[in-house]
Structure 1
Amino acid sequence: MTFLSGGAAESFGVPAWNGGKLMIDMLNKGELPAPYDQKGFGGMMIEAIEIDEAGGATKQVQEFRNLVQREKVDAVLGYVSSGDCLAVPPVAEELKAFLVLYDCGTPRVFEEGSYNYVFRTAAHAAMDNISLAKYMTSRGIKVGTFAGVNQDYAWGHDSWADFVASMGVLMPDAKATTSLFPKIFAGQYGTEISAVMREKPDLLHSSLWGGDLQAFMLQASARGIHKRMQIALAAGDHVIPQLGQKMPDGIILGARGMNGLAAHAKGGELVDLLWDRYKAEYGVFPVQAPFRMWQGLLGVKAAVEKAMKANGGKKPTAEQMAAAMKGLTWEAPSGTITMALGNGHQAIQPNAIGTTKWDEAAGEMTLVDVEYYDAECVNPPNGIKAVDWIKAGFPGAKCN
């Protein structure tokens, strides 16, 4: 379940599903290295049904019901939109269906809800915005005032709240000024760009993503906004293949984890294999979307095989898969994933922030001055809401 049409498809949904198709094929053929070398899920071949996430939360709730009640799927892996990730879990709980959220950012899923059958295999958005603030602090970037342009729904509001709170702790003298929330998939940002340029902040924060981020960066860079202020993008890496050199140098950005270019820089057998296969198959490097799809698929594989081992090798039920997934730890191309929050239902993971730099010789955009953050440095402990943890000064954070 991911965006196959609409404004989120080109830079996020389609790359995510491309990565999913690639990994499912490799899993079914037993082409991944240990501990993922057993074919399929515990020897069972994986049959995937792809569904377009476009259309809004009401449509997605009905699609989910159809998958579970008519198609009789064993598990659902999906959802990019935070709105969908808030709408679907209560239905999964009602139907006692195993649901794995592979993306979406709002911390509210497990901070405001408690589920038995629902899991998220990727960290929520607090990590992204804490890391941005830490990066600017460690680099000595001077910020007297900062503004924000974020989408007008859960992801945008939560991202801005976490960033403001993080800045309040790490840069207490910096003042938040203009805060703008355009409608998701608005596409035109002339009004917002003009407002920010009139305000003249030292820093502009944005968690825009997909087609919205592409459009914003094209429109903003054409007016030279990046020359007037530092731009920090919470989830900016995934539009680099589309924008190329039109993504300006000097943009600070994250990839919602140690994903994409930051993961490739670290290397390792699993990430190198998937990176090369993805580039060979699709002619472009994998950004955060396929990486997050991969860690979701590998998490499901680990949970299914753990459940089968406890079940005498038999195909597990939804209850058995859920029990195996709770508190699980596994290795992904983006590092160690641990279901540490939400009483074992919400993942934490390492993160990375870097700065864009065009490589003239290679003819491609790169990330330079990359800083890596341990999972327990930028994710709250279990049982504490992210914004409360931030405002308290990150108590118990474990940072190298």
Structure 2
Amino acid sequence: MTTRNSRIGAILRTSTAFTLAVGVSVFAPGTTSVVAQEAETVKVGFVTFLSGGAAGPFGVPARNAAELMIEAINGGTIPNQYSEPGFAGFMIDPVFVDENSKQKTADFQRLVQRDEVDMVVGYISSGSCKAIAPEAEALEVLTVLFDCGTPQIFEEIVTEPRYTFRTGAHATMDNVAAALYLEHIGKDTNSIAGINQNYAWGQDSWRDFSASVAQLYPDSNVVTEQFPKIYAGQYGAEVSALLTNTPDVIHSSFWGGDMEAFIIQGAGRGIFERSSVVLTTGETAVHRLGPQMPDGTIIGARGPHGELAAESELNTWFREAYFDRFGTLPTYPSYKMAQALLGLKSAAELAGGVDRDALIDALAGLEWEGPSGMVSMALANGHQAIQGTAYGTYRYDADTNSATLVDVVHFNAECVNPPAGVNSIDWINGGFEGANCE
């Protein structure tokens, strides 16, 4: 990967595994954080996968990034504008909860009512966020969704949010950019196919990608659409369908263990040799799979995160601090957790504390710098973030045992996110009206 210095380069040549980070923030309903003010602490609940198939590639690394950032924020060791300790002086006191639960709403309620957290940071799965966003509004709890990607959260489920925020861009960005990347590198796209998980994230991702391709390549045909269950793990029938139809491009928003299983099973049967494969979340598997990731795979990171992040002092600090603590480099879930916490810290500094309503007002419409660049709460009346993104093509060098992303293309936020007040699919079907890709 592109490196910041020789030390990071050495890390990349030897790294074969990774850890990630995830978060969501919530303030206790109807309060102004009296407990936090008295004790000079702010109690934050973190919800991420700590068990199950999503834990290794996503959830545990998410917790790792949260722990790193909590220690650094409390200690005032983050460079530049983040060097003052705490959330406006309030020290973060974390409570961690496993997202791998069949009682997600009850777990959320317990965090607020029993554990008396002032905030909750968490949720990776779009299914989780669909359940939690209405609950956060009903309980009047400030909730910051750090990762889950379905555009439905603010376009269909909570259309007038007060307490719910999402500090990462939603899936429309990923899939519009994926289609634009194919156009940019001159990839044949006469026929496309999709293999995506059969729930909101996979359905919305395929919808937006196929609609974007239809705008850019009007003569392109969809030859097959595969929607296996999430966490299915075995994709023999779906791989057979993809091989039978031999599309020019295969799109997948698989994440975590499902994505890794598809890569291994599909590569073994030659899918990656017959078609160009776009993995919108593929960056998390780059170091974990190494040579098992086929050359030529098109890789996204749900934003300009990980190996697609631009150089900056904050990014260099984050990568080095993460590796020093966990022995591996951060991937995009780690970046998005850090992004959420720095957004909350920025809002707290602006609000002068952690009063719930003051923090809400400060966070709405806020812009701040994360390790991967600037973030702007530009959609959903200031409750939904937009950010630029990037794609690259995977190459593995067996001689140096190192992975590289080549032909990297960056897209600015206004190019790949819908304008304020316009639903994602309407914007795509309308020909991306108002997009600024200069």
* Normalised TM-score (structure 1): 0.96
Are the aligned partners of 1:100 and 1:296 in contact in 2 as well (CA < 8 Å)?
yes
Alignment partner of 1:320: what SS? helix
Which residue of the partner structure matches residue 179 of structure 1?
A: 225
Are the aligned partners of 2:335 and 2:371 in contact in 1 as well (CA < 8 Å)?
yes
Are the aligned partners of 2:88 and 2:354 in contact in 1 as well (CA < 8 Å)?
no
- Residue 166 of structure 1: how far off its partner (Å): 0.3
Q: In structure 2, what is the Cα distance between the partners aligned to 1:20 and 1:239?
A: 20
Are the aligned partners of 1:96 and 1:318 in contact in 2 as well (CA < 8 Å)?
no
The yes-or-no answer on 1:383 pairing with 2:418 is: no
Greater mean deviation of Cα atoms: 142-151 or 356-365? 356-365
- Residue 241 of structure 1: how far off its partner (Å): 2.1
The yes-or-no answer on 1:38 pairing with 2:84 is: yes
Aligned mate of 1:252, from 288, 298, 305:
298
Q: In structure 2, what is the Cα distance between the partners aligned to 1:359 and 1:96?
A: 52
- Residue 359 of structure 1: how far off its partner (Å): 2.8
Q: Unmatched 5+ residue regions in structure 2?
A: 1-46
Alignment partner of 1:51: what SS? strand
The yes-or-no answer on 1:369 pairing with 2:415 is: no
Which residue of the partner structure matches residue 92 of structure 1?
A: 136
Letter in 2 for 1:386: S
The yes-or-no answer on 1:79 pairing with 2:79 is: no
Q: In structure 2, what is the Cα distance between the partners aligned to 1:397 and 1:283?
A: 40
Alignment partner of 2:382: what SS? coil
Letter in 2 for 1:53: E
The yes-or-no answer on 1:162 pairing with 2:208 is: yes
The yes-or-no answer on 1:358 pairing with 2:404 is: no
Which residue of the partner structure matches residue 134 of structure 1?
A: 180
Q: In structure 2, what is the Cα distance between the partners aligned to 1:284 and 1:362?
A: 18
Aligned mate of 2:319, from 268, 271, 275:
275
Letter in 2 for 1:167: V
Which residue of the partner structure matches residue 258 of structure 2?
A: 212
- Residue 130 of structure 1: how far off its partner (Å): 0.4
After superposition, give the CA deviation of every residue in 1:318-366 in whole Å (9 maximum; x if it has no partner): 2221111110100111111000001110000010100001133431212
Aligned mate of 1:47, from 81, 89, 93:
93
Which residue of the partner structure matches residue 272 of structure 2?
A: 226
Which residue of the partner structure matches residue 435 of structure 2?
A: 397
The yes-or-no answer on 1:325 pairing with 2:363 is: yes
Q: In structure 1, what is the Cα distance between the partners aligned to 2:208 and 2:364?
A: 26
Aligned mate of 2:373, from 335, 347, 353:
335
Are the aligned partners of 1:334 and 1:350 in contact in 2 as well (CA < 8 Å)?
no
Q: In structure 1, what is the Cα distance between the partners aligned to 2:237 and 2:278?
A: 19
After superposition, give the CA deviation of every residue in 1:248-302 in whole Å (9 maximum; x if it has no partner): 1100011000001011xx2110000110111222222111110000100001111
Are the aligned partners of 1:203 and 1:230 in contact in 2 as well (CA < 8 Å)?
yes
Which residue of the partner structure matches residue 312 of structure 1?
A: none
Alignment partner of 1:97: what SS? coil
Which residue of the partner structure matches residue 68 of structure 1?
A: 112
The yes-or-no answer on 1:26 pairing with 2:72 is: yes
Q: In structure 1, what is the Cα distance between the partners aligned to 2:325 and 2:380?
A: 37
Which residue of the partner structure matches residue 241 of structure 2?
A: 195
Q: In structure 2, what is the Cα distance between the partners aligned to 1:19 and 1:251?
A: 27
Q: In structure 2, what is the Cα distance between the partners aligned to 1:74 and 1:55?
A: 22
Q: In structure 2, what is the Cα distance between the partners aligned to 1:120 and 1:71?
A: 23
- Residue 234 of structure 1: how far off its partner (Å): 1.1
Q: In structure 2, what is the Cα distance between the partners aligned to 1:69 and 1:304?
A: 23
- Residue 55 of structure 1: how far off its partner (Å): 2.1
Letter in 2 for 1:381: P
Which residue of the partner structure matches residue 299 of structure 1?
A: 343
Are the aligned partners of 2:87 and 2:354 in contact in 1 as well (CA < 8 Å)?
no
- Residue 376 of structure 1: how far off its partner (Å): 0.5
- Residue 34 of structure 1: how far off its partner (Å): 1.9
Are the aligned partners of 1:117 and 1:318 in contact in 2 as well (CA < 8 Å)?
no
Q: In structure 1, what is the Cα distance between the partners aligned to 2:206 and 2:112?
A: 35
After superposition, give the CA deviation of every residue in 1:356-382 in whole Å (9 maximum; x if it has no partner): 011334312121111011001100011
Q: In structure 1, what is the Cα distance between the partners aligned to 2:237 and 2:288?
A: 24
Are the aligned partners of 2:253 and 2:281 in contact in 1 as well (CA < 8 Å)?
yes
Which residue of the partner structure matches residue 344 of structure 1?
A: 382
Alignment partner of 1:347: what SS? strand
- For the aligned residue pairs, the C-alpha RMSD in angstroms reads 1.0
Letter in 2 for 1:276: E
Q: In structure 2, what is the Cα distance between the partners aligned to 1:364 and 1:39?
A: 37
The yes-or-no answer on 1:316 pairing with 2:354 is: yes
Q: In structure 2, what is the Cα distance between the partners aligned to 1:338 and 1:101?
A: 15
Which residue of the partner structure matches residue 3 of structure 2?
A: none
Alignment coverage as a number of residue pairs: 390
Q: In structure 2, what is the Cα distance between the partners aligned to 1:360 and 1:30?
A: 41
After superposition, give the CA deviation of every residue in 1:33-82 in whole Å (9 maximum; x if it has no partner): 121111111111111111110124xx111111001111111111111100
The yes-or-no answer on 1:237 pairing with 2:275 is: no
Are the aligned partners of 1:8 and 1:210 in contact in 2 as well (CA < 8 Å)?
yes
Q: Unmatched 5+ residue regions in structure 1?
A: 309-314
Which consecutive segments of 4 or more residues in structure 1 shift more than 3 A?
none
Which residue of the partner structure matches residue 189 of structure 2?
A: 143
- Aligned residues: percent identity? 48
Q: In structure 2, what is the Cα distance between the partners aligned to 1:327 and 1:394?
A: 23
